Structure 1
Amino acid sequence: MARFLFTTWEGGGHVQPLLLVAADMIARGHEVLAISDPANAADAQALGVPFRAWTSAPFQTGKTRDDDRLRDFEADNPMAVIERLLDRVMTGPSAAYAHDVLGALDDFPADVIVTQELLLGVMVAAQARGTRLALLSANIWSLPNLAGAPPFGAGMAPAADDQERSMHAMVAQMARGLFQSGLPALNAARAEHGLAPLDDLFAQFDAADAILLATSAAFDFAPDPLPAPFAHVGPYLADPAWARPAPLPDGDAPLVVVSFSSLYQAQEQTLRNVIAALSGLPVRALVTTGPTLDPAEFEAPPHVKVVRSAPHGAVLGQAAAFITHAGHGSTLRPLMAGVPLLCLPMGRDQNDNAIRAAHRGAAITLSPDASPEKIAHALGQLLDDPSYGQAARTLGARIARDAEGRSAARALEALV
């Protein structure tokens, strides 16, 4: 038996996968403690994972749009998004995150710390205490320090020639430079704990003994094999604790399921355009708004049901198409059920997930401000052209094999 300390923050879809790995470790006989925002306490309880809340570090008590501390939907350019990420998660509060982790280690002397990849303060604490460290990314890798992968954020396909490879390398180098504005705050946290200053923010990642990508290698565009210490460990996906059953619309018309982010991304107008598109089509539709939006805000005809949540695991087997913002879980789970996607990515990792599905012929991608007419036309293509469904089943079967063989627990045990 070993002790594993898991840490994350309320950032949406990465919380549950980390908790699922923590639950796996408990099932294998290990001691586990998870630290996150109070908003995630119920998620941990549902999986039987002992939980402790951040105290010095910033935290959210709820999951509504007003609780969101990142508020990246207010940023109007990529640099502004990076600045918010640095100031509010990665480096601005790094000393506070380190303080909380070191306090937890006094009470729970862990053999391994497992953290979401953006919490650099947790990495500082692990390095200061000499505790083994694993980063767990419940996604494709989102930072510009993985050579050979397309640059993150813009939804780029794999490089086809030397010119495109050079362009990808140049974009990644520019992105690395943008993150360096967080270096003073990171070095201040390091100095507080007796660690030497760094010249490059990404040198902090050298403290990690393992970087585990909880996604499917079959889905990813990352190099094969991955350079050490990166490793694919398969996707960890399940319905969230807050999802409640919802009745499907009556009839036998094709079922379309609609799901956007569980976080707020100012997605109201996109959802209204999707509902308007569905209103004139011979389909049934189930639209889930998630915890940040009230279903009462949206008008819909009888064949389009708008609800706060529904367990996707129970409805995807009946779906003919899935309309999504293309978050990681909202992309992989429909594919694993063989359901083609209409993606309207709104930022974060979504452009990159959408291109990975579309590149394999399993999705169509539109702008999030696409008109109802464009959405209806694209959905008609998905429903009428069987090649999209076949591509979704082919890719989904490969992703499902990676999910069945998921290996984060074994990789963490190897660190002890």
Structure 2
Amino acid sequence: MSSNFLFATWSGGGAVPPTLSVARALRERGHGVRVLADRSLHDEVAATGAEPVAWTTAPQGDTTDPVKDILKDFEARTPMGAFARLRDRLVCGPAADFARDTLAELHARSADVLVTDFSLLGTVTAGEAAGIPVAGLGTTLYPFATPGAPPFGPGLKPATGALGRVRDRVLTTLTTKPWAKGLPALNAARVANGLAPLDSVMDAFGRVDRFLVLSPRALDYPSRRFPSYVRHVGPRLDDPAWVGELELPEGDAPLALASLSSTFMDQRALLQRIAEALGTLPVRGLLTTGPAVDPATVPAPGNVLVTAAAPHSAALSHAAVTVTHAGHGTVVKSLAAGVPLVCMPLGRDQGEVARRVDLAGAGITVGKGASPRTIARAVEKVLHDPSYRREARRLADEIAAETATDRAVAELEALAERAGRGDSVISKG
């Protein structure tokens, strides 16, 4: 029996393709799917077969254009400044606007399940107010504090011993405290929609019936314990609709795929240094700049092909190494193909993703300010030490097992079925 799903997302770069992959899969199974999204995403939404619906009062953005980016976190001088932009411009500040638009769409046309980017707490509020099941989508590693893992953000190694546990408790308090400034705006949205205020923003992230983690469980800490409503459903490995056809550099030398963020993170200079590094090695370099950087602004040596985009899933079947900012999408696609990595985190969740790659033995991390010579040495190390490829292939086997069935679709269909029967799912909060 078909159901109706309302998705809610925003122009969040790497978070968009996995979200729309789930929407596409539901549509292909005959369900009705609408997607509340920024107008800049409507062509991508339509390509999945889902119906795009525009936000009307919530913020509109385009992360491929720095002028239109909602967050502009590339302007922040510190990680705390970048976090404040996320809190105030997306998660909490416009919560009332996101709630208003979501409820308007639900009142106009009902849905059996609301599926939302977990960071849009305004849409979570709307789903709770409407009394329908809400599934939050996490398109990277689970980002909240849990037993068995260090606090998310600093990219720390897991704690050992009593001092390590004290470290985690202290840092968890310090990393969650800044959310308090977003609580008044969030609670105003809740009260305006007939809901009780919450004691913390952290509580709001748990007001979902399911939190679906679109990330390999094998990439996270084995000792980590998660809330009962969290489900690891495996990564989405689809390429975005805009990537085009694959063109490979000429020759038969090992292929190094280099790719940084699909959004603007002031990365042109780093792309240039990566191109220079690959130019000193006996490799073929395929460097994709993404839609935020003009490939013509990145001069490259003769063994490096610079292009705006390429289907990474196809390119990775030829690749021997990936050089990346450690965006979750690029990392999991590389690991799914058994390709080891050189990670150069630029910000956001990338330090955490790089840390997991390091600990898995599937790659190494160098600083974003590294010289071409340092980058080249890191690439050589990964290419010449077989342990990195061996561990990447181990993770590829685990990812293949996780993605053999579409667990995300199964979880969402189960929510819709229970809602149709009038069954409760879990108690929120």
State the TM-score, normalizing by the size of structure 1: 0.96
- How far 1:235 moved relative to its partner? 0.7
What's the CA shift for 1:312?
0.9
8 Å contact from structure 1 (residues 284, 304) kept in 2: yes
Residue 404 of structure 1: how far off its partner (Å): 2.2
Q: Return the letter of the residue paired with 1:47.
A: T
Map 1:70-109; keep pairs closer than 5 Å. 70-109=71-110
Residue 175 of structure 1, CA deviation: 1.4
Matches of 1:159 and 1:303, distance apart in 2: 43
Amino acid at match of 1:101: T
Residues of 1 paired with 2:166 and 2:402: CA distance? 31
% of aligned pairs identical? 43
Residues 271-308 of structure 1 deviation map (CA, whole Å, 9 limit, x = unaligned):
11111111111111010000000011011121111100
Aligned to 1:25: 26
CA distance in 1, matches of 2:170, 2:70: 31
Give the Å deviation of 1:64: 2.0
Distance 1:58 1:222, change over 3 A: farther
**Residues 184-233 of structure 1: per-residue CA shift (max 9 Å, x gap):** 11111112112222221122234211111111111112655532111101
Q: How far apart, in 2, do the equivalents of 1:207 and 1:390 lie?
A: 40
**Shift in CA distance, 329/54, structure 1 to aligned 2, threshold 3 Å:** same
Q: Is the 8 A contact 2:33 2:50 kept in 1?
A: yes
Distance in 1 (CA, whole Å) between partners of 2:62 and 2:317 is 34
For the residues of structure 1 that align with 2:151 and 2:211, how far apart are their CA atoms?
Answer: 18
3-state SS of paired residue (2:215): coil
Q: What is the identity, as a one-letter code, of the residue corresponding to 1:180?
A: A
| Match in the other structure for 2:427 | none
For structure 1, which segment, 177-186 or 162-171, has the greater mean C-alpha deviation from structure 2 after superposition? 162-171
**Corresponding residue for residue 267 of structure 1:** 267
**Corresponding position of 2:168:** 168
Q: In structure 1, how many angstroms separate the alpha carbons of the residues matched to 2:343 and 2:126?
A: 39
The whole-number CA distance in structure 2 between the counterparts of 1:293 and 1:194 is 45
Name the CA distance, whole Å, in 1 between partners of 2:166 and 2:403: 33
Task: Report the counterpart of residue 282 of structure 2 in structure 1.
Answer: 282
1:301/1:205 CA distance change after superposition, 3 Å: closer
Pairing of 1:164-243 with structure 2 (within 5 A): 164-221=164-221, 223=223, 226-243=226-243
Question: Shift of residue 149 of structure 1?
Answer: 2.9
Aligned equivalents of 2:205, 2:331: Cα separation in 1: 28
Distance 2:214 2:245 in 1: 27
Q: Give 1:83 shift.
A: 1.0
Q: Which residue is 1:49 aligned to?
A: 50
Q: CA deviation at 1:343?
A: 0.4
* Partners of 1:196 and 1:72 in 2: CA distance: 32
Shift of 1:60: 1.9
Q: Give the structure 2 partner of residue 67 of structure 1.
A: 68
What does residue 396 of structure 1 align with? 396
Partners of 2:135 and 2:211 within 8 A in 1: yes
User: Cα–Cα, structure 1 residues 42 and 366, in superposed 2: closer, same or farther, change >3 Å?
Assistant: same
- Structure 1 runs of 4+ off > 4 angstroms? 222-225
Work out whether residues 62 and 69 of structure 2, in 8 Å CA contact, stay in contact via their aligned partners in 1.
no
1:380 has 2:380 as partner:
yes
How many residue pairs match? The answer is 415
State which drifts further: 356-365 or 160-169.
160-169
Q: Which residue of 1 aligns with 2:326?
A: 326
Distance 2:62 2:232 in 1: 32
SS state of the match for residue 185, structure 1? Answer: helix
CA shift for structure 1 position 358: 1.1
> Mapping of 1:239-318 within 5 angstroms?
239-318=239-318
CA–CA separation in structure 1 for the residues paired with 2:39 and 2:253: 42
Q: Cα deviations across residues 35-61 of structure 1 (Å, max 9, x unaligned)?
A: 111111121112111111111100125
Report if aligned partners of 2:8, 2:35 keep a CA contact under 8 Å in 1.
yes
Q: Is the 8 A contact 1:157 1:356 kept in 2?
A: no
Q: Which moved more, 1:158-167 or 1:68-77?
A: 158-167
Q: Matched residue of 1:14: which SS?
A: helix
Look up the match of 1:114: 115
SS in 1 for 2:175: helix
Q: Where does the alignment leave 5 or more consecutive residues of structure 1 unmatched?
A: none
Give matches, 1:146-165, under 5 Å.
146-165=146-165
Contact conserved, 1:149 with 1:222, CA < 8 A, in 2?
Answer: no
Q: After superposing the two structures, state which structure 1 stretch, 186-195 or 83-92, moved more.
A: 186-195
- 1:249–1:302 CA contact under 8 A, matched in 2: no
**Structure 2 residue ranges without an equivalent (≥5):** 420-429
Calculate the aligned-residue CA RMSD, in Å.
Answer: 1.5
Q: Which moved more, 1:334-343 or 1:57-66?
A: 57-66
Structure 2 Cα separation of the partners of residues 31 and 46 of structure 1: 15
